[in-house]
Structure 1
């Protein structure tokens, strides 16, 4: 196998950026999911509730992120190291630090509702839940459950085949193949492996970085939204529910926990240990 792609999403549920190399930290890829959007009620907002979030892109910089809206406007926000604390409203974390009012106003305009932008100053203050494969001392960024999500190209190809086959059964034309971006993976692996071989992995190595399998990833309605058009549909959940439904949920990809730190690069050799 090899590392085919890597993606960083600085703000939870906003659009991210593809990178040629990424520093792996114990809590995930550097800059990944260190920010989140808080709604007017103090809860955190995700694209499951507000799909406009997928149309705003965040790109990390040196101590900052640059946000770009669908209207082309750009706003750069520095890490609020001395920002006022606010309740994070997210599991296993008591607070985040708030960015300035200018960031809140810009993002509120983009999302058509009052929001605030929060930053996680130290991911070591949050841990991976034991219910998601965590062990004592496993830190976590603002991801839902695990530091990294890994997907594979062969699995996506098989899913696209299933979708095309079912479309033919309904007398419909085959749709365009799904972009991997629907699944928002941290890393994408490709090579001479069977589709969904990742279900049986216990360890993964990319370059010199080693990971431990945490759990398979159950998929939610966020995958139904095209990140380019923001239009929703029935795929891939409809087809996953037919072919990949176990324990009452649908599955695609696996969550990984880093065992050491360092840099991974697109093209790096990769390997996995099976059950």
Structure 2
């Protein structure tokens, strides 16, 4: 039996912007600390993502000394930063897919910076600690909550799944297109599809739903440019009921510290 080891861990503090690679992270009730706790919303409160606005891939996020900084990958002089606990206190209803949640605007200056970048009016909002956005009850195990992520607190992908895909396409792509929280080594491509309950280090997770993929994975996260791959190739061998699947959405049973190098121990497999 192959040994599974956590090889990479990422958070995406602002939904649809560049991620941060970590060696150690705190897993909280709604996912990894700081993961998708902020989001851009238009004047109607509807969430903004790379699916329509490819240029968001060019904005890199970093966290240092209690501040979150956003800078342009191609012109780093173009940047803005704000305190992690900053907000105006004014509640704004926002929409993520079929969910409505309550958010707080960070501040007008930050919203204006993003509006200038996107060339239309947006607000940068954060999720208040008291907000309870529920995981889809069809898949929830214990009334779990989620941040501004699409639907689940964490996403897992095996490195061998990407390696297998890269053998099938002309120009290899990077894992960052799939925006996973956890990447692990070991096993065959897509072995994660058969995980049911497993530990990463001391924390117990359940894989509850395969992750269906969209146009976002066709955007190069370094250039913000879009192409046909890897969606075209994945469609040829990873289509299930008209959806293209890659990776597993997770729910966790407890909070704790997770570190790169932790072993994944599968307790139960899907039949």
Return the TM-score normalized by structure 2.
0.92
Aligned to 2:269: 274
Aligned to 2:173: 178
Distance 2:161 2:130 in 1: 31
Distance 1:67 1:260 in 2: 31
Contact 1:80/1:97 (<8 A) preserved:
no
Aligned to 1:234: 228
Contact 1:68/1:74 (<8 A) preserved:
yes
Contact 1:8/1:32 (<8 A) preserved:
yes
Per-residue CA deviation, residues 145-168 of structure 1 (Å, 9 max, x unaligned), is: 1100000111111111122xxxxx
Distance 1:254 1:235 in 2: 20
Distance 1:55 1:102 in 2: 20
Question: What is the deviation of 1:63?
Answer: 4.8
Per-residue CA deviation, residues 161-181 of structure 1 (Å, 9 max, x unaligned), is: 122xxxxxxxxxx32x21000
Do residues 11 (structure 1) and 17 (structure 2) align?
no
Aligned to 2:107: 100
Per-residue CA deviation, residues 177-198 of structure 1 (Å, 9 max, x unaligned), is: 210001000010112x111111
Q: How does 1:128-207 map to 2 (within 5 A)?
A: 128-131=135-138, 133-163=139-169, 174-175=170-171, 177-191=172-186, 193-207=187-201
Query: Which has the larger displacement, 92-101 or 247-256?
Result: 92-101
5+ long unaligned stretches in structure 2: none
Do residues 86 (structure 1) and 81 (structure 2) align?
no
Per-residue CA deviation, residues 68-96 of structure 1 (Å, 9 max, x unaligned), is: 12321221122335521111122444310
Contact 1:32/1:141 (<8 A) preserved:
yes
**Structure showing the higher helix proportion among its residues:** 1
Contact 1:124/1:140 (<8 A) preserved:
no
Distance 2:22 2:240 in 1: 33
Question: What is the deviation of 1:253?
Answer: 0.2
Q: How does 1:204-215 map to 2 (within 5 A)?
A: 204-215=198-209
5+ long unaligned stretches in structure 1: 164-173
Name segments (4+ residues, structure 1) moved above 4 Å.
none
Question: What is the deviation of 1:53?
Answer: 1.1
Return the TM-score normalized by structure 1.
0.90
Distance 2:64 2:249 in 1: 26
Q: How does 1:38-77 map to 2 (within 5 A)?
A: 38-61=41-64, 63-70=66-73, 71-72=75-76, 73-77=78-82
Query: Which has the larger displacement, 66-75 or 141-150?
Result: 66-75
Distance 2:59 2:140 in 1: 31
1:118 is aligned, of 115, 122, 125, to 125
Distance 2:265 2:141 in 1: 23
1:210 match: secondary structure: strand
Per-residue CA deviation, residues 190-244 of structure 1 (Å, 9 max, x unaligned), is: 12x1111111110121111110111000100000000101111111111111001
Superposed CA RMSD in Å reads 1.6
Q: How many residues align?
A: 262
Distance 2:191 2:148 in 1: 27
